[in-house]
Chain A
Amino acid sequence: MRYSLFSLLANAAGGHRRWPRAWMSPAPKPSYDVVIVGGGGHGLATAYWLAKNHGIRNVAVLERGPIGLGNTGRNTTVVRSNYLCDDSAHLYEHALKLWEGLSQELNFNTMFSQRGVVNLAFTRHELAGMERRAGAMRLNGIDCELLTLADLRRWIPNLNLSRDLRYPVLGGIVQPRGGNARHDAVAWGFARGASALGVDVIENCAVTGMRIEHGRITGVETSRGPIAAGRVGVVAAGHSSVVMDMAGVRLPIQSFPLQALVSEPVKPILHTVVMAGHVHVYLSQSDKGELVIGAARDSYLSYAQRGSFHLIEEQLRALIELFPVFSRLRMMRQWAGIVDCAPDASPIVGLTPVHNLYVNCGWGTGGFKATPGSGWVFAHTIANDAPHPLNRNFTLERFTTGALIDEAAAAGVAH
């Protein structure tokens, strides 16, 4: 049933008793053309685009629990494409363009709100870095404006612009087309879309092994029995290393906790996404009214979805420096996800040493914004056994040659 105001009104009359399941929940078939391991946003998007763009519909998405509850359901929902390196800029910008039509594409409101993403500069060195980033973005065709203090006063009315701060704000940049989206809606929307195109979204089905014969993958072992597959794509953020270990493929990935928190809901007070990398805090306000606050990841390896409390304290210190009016609001909920970090803070999307096995991982702390684009290029990679032009440099080989896509080294902003 198509979602619209009219169908909503029509169903209201019937007490909403006729809405069908958003996505089907079939038992796994013995064999698929493509099996996607990982039912987060990226995996579901991959399946959707495989069916939509490449006509490959005999596809299963295997998720060990319910879909969309890993990093897809735990992130701070920022969408932007303000990247410095050309390869990153083009990949994330492609994703951003997909976001701009995603609700209509999926007929599911993902609530993509282009309220702008502001990065603040606190040192002259950081200002130069932003000039560099802004210049690169514009020459790559991405919207970006440099902001003076007067501009910042307009964009962020409650920001403390006092010169007496330990790190006074000196300026910033904004990507007006950036913003927030509703994270759960992305997973559910892609699942519903993929399911409608014939993809099997299989929940509570853990992959426990890989079948590899003569260097070629032929299927996976699961908690619900073996499933044969022509091709297998692994998109299992948080557990990329664990899953790829089953295929004997090592990844340059380490898994870390990334924490986030929300305040109690308050009336609209912050109308844009604000990122302050130098003092380690970023925030936005959700449509429910909560301030959604994040910072840097924890420093130690962990699969626990728990982080260290002092990081919460530190990011809230920074928050109070920048927004003294938030001091009396209260932290309502805090949590953590597991982020798979690559050494250069850029993802790995492409082929692996095992034939017909593909990997999509390493999105670190910033994978949510890439969701539709990541699925787009990964579907292309799987369908063609060759990367899409947008992900051709995001290979595993770059860690041999040294041709990193080094957003980590080249940037003063959190990823």
Chain B
Amino acid sequence: MTQPFRIDSGGLINRGKPLTFTFNGKRYTGCEGDTLASALLANGVHLTARSFKYHRPRGIVSAGPEEPCALVRVGTGARVRPNVPATMVELHDGLIAASINCWPGVNFDVGAINNAISGVLPAGFYYKTFMWPAAAWMQYERFIRKAAGLGVTPSFPDPDRYDKRNDHCDVLVIGGGPAGIAAALAAGEAGARVLLVEERAQLGGQLLFRNASIAGQPAREWLAQAESALARLAEVRVVCRATATGYYDHNLVTVLERCTDHVADPAAHLPRQRLWKVRAHRVIVAAGAIERPIVFGNNDLPGVMLAGAAQRYAAQYAVRAGQRAVVFTNNDSGYEAALALAATGVEVAALIDPRERPDCAEAVQAQGIAVMSRHAVIAAAGSKRVQRVTIAPVDATGSKLTGPMQHIACDLVCVSGGWDPAVHLYSQSGGKLVFDGEQHCFVPGAAMQPVRAAGAANGAFFVEDAIEQGRAAALNSDTAAPRRALALQPLWAAPGVPQGAKPFVDLQSDVTAADLALAAREGYVAVEHTKRYTTTGMGVDQGKTGNIIAYGLLGGLTGRTIPEVGTTTFRPPYTPVTIGALAGREIGTSFEPWRRTPVSAWHTAAGAEFEPVGLWRRPMYYPKPGEAMDDAVARECLAVRNGVGMLDASTLGKIEIRGPDALTLLNRLYTNAWNSLAIGRCRYGLMLHEDGMVFDDGVTARLGETHYLMSTTSGGADGVLGWIEDWLQCEWRDLKVHVTPVTAHWATVCVTGPHARDVLTGLASDIDFSGTAFPHMSMRQGQIAGAPARVARVSFTGELSYEIHVPARYGLALWEMLLEAGAAHGITPLGTEALHVLRAEKGFIVVGHETDGTVTPIDLGMQRLVSMNKGDFLGKRGLARADNVRKARKQLVGLLTRDAAVMVPEGSQIVAMENAGRIAQPPVPMLGHVTSSYRSPVLGRSIAMALVADGSNRMGGEVAVVTDGRVVTATLTDPCFYDRQGARLNG
């Protein structure tokens, strides 16, 4: 085994399972149970990264998700992960990782030039310069952008799948350390459904590396017993490698489970990650605590590490993070770390503590470690690894040097400035934070949602206290204050840092103590301003280790206490969440399912080109081999004008209305009067919103005394149903009427053209299709080939037309039957495009084309459809508002280009002729725009419709249509271009 810093015994790694991995192109060996970070340390690799701004050498600082420095790229090709902390990457065989944001490499990085000129790059330097010459910012910015950013986006689409899971439980326990385990056990034993999520690969938290005993029992023994007790509880589920990332309203917590990131060759059926959306009655946050650094000169050198991390590397991973260590601590936990290091054979050269000598010093000294009380580390030195530290005696508050400096050679500096409860999720839940003046950290205060904190996350840093708090939280009993407090004297930054040794506050964003001082000097003293001005806490780690120090230093700079400074907002997520996991499976073919009609498969087989219409996918046209779109559409149009065509109109919105007040409802919904509509007859209607603007149209048939069938636009069916239900349920609760959406129940085929009747009479039906028995605008019910059928004689093409509705299961049969019956007449399937041409030839509007939410019936020239004497209807009062009765509103017109061959694009703007010459000299007043524009095969020319200011008074006049910088002259006409008398559809 070639792992020079691996300890021969102990730890939770499996020495029997060596794993090979590659870092920056070099092969190494680690063990099962390692993280990438522990494996690198085992191989003596400390230089893992370059910093964001100054490209300074950086190493591994922590052993957890708070890691500010050791971000690496993991994987290759399409499976690359660009910026992940090496401390959270579980090692697997064949893992390939590399440093990021350095060129050509981490050992020699050209970007380090920034470190040399750092004097002109203080916080916010970019706000003060790059302003000359004025146009040059984007040139400067090019370089800034290139320099910024960390990793590189994968070049290929993600080959992995991501799952989502909705989950419900009585108690969600976040964190599987002693407090979380105790909480899950207590809640589970009390009969609750419990979900326990743990971020790491195994339960245990601090028990995995702290030499604690619980009621006299060794910690690991307690842990093993607790795990088997949890396993026996059927209603308790434990999920590891699962990070609670966000806490949202009404106790919704998101949990990201990493399913295969730790596996060399994952089974193909497994998702890479799974996003849990957990709705819990109660949540217990037992997420532990994060160790706080102390700032000193060159505190960013590889080899400067959090003391608890060095302890974890030694005890859990059996790795010596160095050979000769100096421990720098202002609290008792550093002493425990020193002992743990010494126990694994690390030479601890000294323990530096700015406090008076605490009781726990004795045990440390007994190991032969020099304890230097009332001292501080003021700087470290080394090039790519720490080689020595400079220490000096300090006064009682740690704010002044009181004696000469001395140096201690070492290759590891273990720092502990205290512990900060992981209050992130608690704060996201809306819970307040309060400052614990004894332990000098923010702890959870009053809750806003049903949530409690326990253990280190609640300031109970000692194992037995944590267990008691976990149990109390689970049983909803009062939480006792911890029996033991962490003895600590706050020290944010060492005094007397020598010139040239940069003291870093936020290691990821390269923010120094001087940057904070500059921000304070310039008035950026509100904590949010300081953060934004200096970028403190804005990196991938979101300031998990650095923010609290910034608050402390800012308080000192501005004469405020930490509670007065406050904190920045803890925004979700706790740790970054893969975007693919947030998107889940509802991408690609599942992004938004198509709605299909019973005939859809036939259309596909027939080679139709489709277009989306609302949720539907409708055939746009049916090209024959070699046919372009225009040719196909022209053929389909002419077939309808000269013979017969058929259209799958199943998407047409259909709503049944039944009940004694059905007529009243129609009168209130539509602008026109419905009293005189006889059974078996149809009528066209317009619906308005309360502001008087058109929002849907369609034909409604009276099927019986109190029974109507309403049709709506294909895209508007859901909106119309919602509109009617809203009024019926909320305002017109006295109306006795039911509305039922039946769009999907009926398949609809429209047969249209001069030969339509001939086709229908060829069907086996009990319906009399003759003109006298079945006039235009009527509906008949009967049977076609034994299937129940409703047939409406209505026309959207201007030709003799029938809409045949049969139950959906007969839709395809009907379609095929009509094809056969119409074969002799050359029946031609037509798509939506031909339908649009045909309706435009007739001047029929399409809601959404000719209307846009600002168009009244009067604007459309449909005054005759607005009954002002039938009583109230929706939109009636709105229509009468001052602006809606204004003269010269935009009105619907037809548009004929002077050159019949020229077609103007839909959406083109229209200007007055006198302005046609100056369209290149804006601003030019606009009269309106083209709403529909087609080539009409039957007329042999282009036609268009438009909304034009004062259009009804401009009929016959010319306007200029502006398209792509050109002007097309066109004449305003009536919008009906074909068979104005309607002789064809009444035949």
Contacts and interface: CB of A to CB of B under 8 A. Distances in A.
Do the two chains touch directly in the complex (Cβ atoms below 8 Å apart)? yes
B578 A335 contact: no
A401 B881 contact: yes
B359 interface: no
A299 interface: no
Contacts of A9: 120
Given A22-B523, A111-B141, A330-B579, A267 B149 contact: yes
Given A131-B906, A185-B127, A267-B151, A324 B252 contact: no
Contacts of B571: 333-335
Contact of B905 (A4, A128, A400): A128
A66 B526 CA distance: 6
Interface string B65-103: 000000000000001111100000000000000000000
B883 interface: yes
Contact of B148 (A114, A288, A313): A288
B313 to A, nearest CB: 25
Interface stretch (A132-140, A212-220, A371-379): A132-140
A316 B579 contact: yes
B153 interface: yes
Interface string B905-924: 11111010000000100111
A64 B773 CA distance: 76
B252 A309 contact: yes
Nearest to A86: B926
Chain B: interface size category: 35 or more
Contact of A321 (B152, B569, B591): B591
Interface string A322-350: 00111111111111000000000000000
B314 interface: no
A33 interface: no
A313 B522 contact: no
Interface residues of A, number: 108
B955 to A, nearest CB: 23
A306 interface: yes
Interface stretch (B131-139, B211-219, B477-485, B777-785): B131-139
Contact of A132 (B81, B153, B277, B929): B929
B714 to A, nearest CB: 12
Contact of B569 (A16, A141, A309, A335): A335
A354 B4 CA distance: 80
A368 B750 CA distance: 50
Contacts of B580: 320, 327-328
A159 to B, nearest CB: 12
Nearest to A310: B277
Interface string B535-556: 1001110100000000000000
B573 A267 contact: no
Contact of B852 (A4, A109, A409): A409
Interface stretch (B30-38, B582-590, B819-827): B582-590
A150 interface: no
A285 B142 CA distance: 12
B528 interface: yes
Contacts of B612: 122-123, 166-167
B292 to A, nearest CB: 22
Contacts of B406: none
A7 B160 CA distance: 52
Contact of A22 (B82, B132, B154, B522): B522
Contacts of A324: 157-158
B703 interface: no
Contacts of A317: 583-584, 586-587, 591
B144 A287 contact: yes
Contact of A12 (B119, B157, B252): B119
A4 B131 contact: yes
A264 B85 CA distance: 12
A266 to B, nearest CB: 5
A112 B528 CA distance: 22
A318 B539 CA distance: 25
A83 to B, nearest CB: 13
Interface of A: 3-5, 7-9, 12-13, 15-17, 19-25, 65-66, 69, 73, 86, 90, 101, 103-104, 107-109, 111-115, 122-125, 127-133, 135-136, 138-142, 146, 158, 165-167, 182, 184-185, 188-189, 203, 263-269, 285, 287-289, 306, 308-309, 312-313, 316-321, 324-335, 398, 400-404, 406, 408-410
Given A12-B120, A109-B126, 20 more contacts: A5-B129, A7-B128, A16-B518, A17-B521, A21-B522, A109-B137, A125-B849, A128-B849, A138-B962, A140-B922, A141-B923, A184-B532, A264-B82, A265-B539, A321-B588, A327-B580, A332-B540, A332-B542, A402-B884, A409-B853
16 contacts: A12-B119, A12-B120, A104-B134, A123-B612, A132-B929, A141-B923, A167-B612, A189-B127, A266-B83, A309-B277, A312-B582, A324-B158, A331-B573, A332-B573, A402-B881, A404-B854
Interface of B: 79-83, 119-120, 122, 125-132, 134, 137-138, 141, 144-146, 148-158, 160, 246, 248-249, 252, 254, 277, 514, 518, 521-524, 526, 528-529, 532-533, 535, 538-540, 542, 569, 571-573, 576-580, 582-584, 586-589, 591-592, 594, 611-612, 691-693, 848-849, 852-854, 878, 881-884, 886, 905-909, 911, 919, 922-926, 929, 962-965
